[in-house]
Amino acid sequence: MGEDGLARRIRSTLAQLEPLRDVPSVEVQLFDAPIYNSVFRFDDDMLAAPQLFRTPGSESPIVHVRRQQDGGLFDRFMHHVHGLRASSIAAWPDVALIP
- pLDDT one-digit tens code per residue, 82-95: 888 887 888 887 66
CA distance 99 to 97: 6
Q: What is the pLDDT at residue 3?
A: 56
pLDDT digits (tens, 9 = 90+) for 53-76: 888 877 889 999 999 999 999 999
The arrangement of strands across the sheet holding 45-50 comes to 37-42, 45-50, 63-66
**pLDDT averaged over the chain?**
83
Q: What is the pLDDT at residue 99?
A: 45
pTM for this model (two decimals): 0.62
Q: What is the pLDDT at residue 95?
A: 60
Q: What is the pLDDT at residue 98?
A: 47
CA distance 71 to 79: 10
Q: Which amino acid, 52? A: L
pLDDT digits (tens, 9 = 90+) for 15-47: 999 999 888 888 888 877 766 778 889 999 999
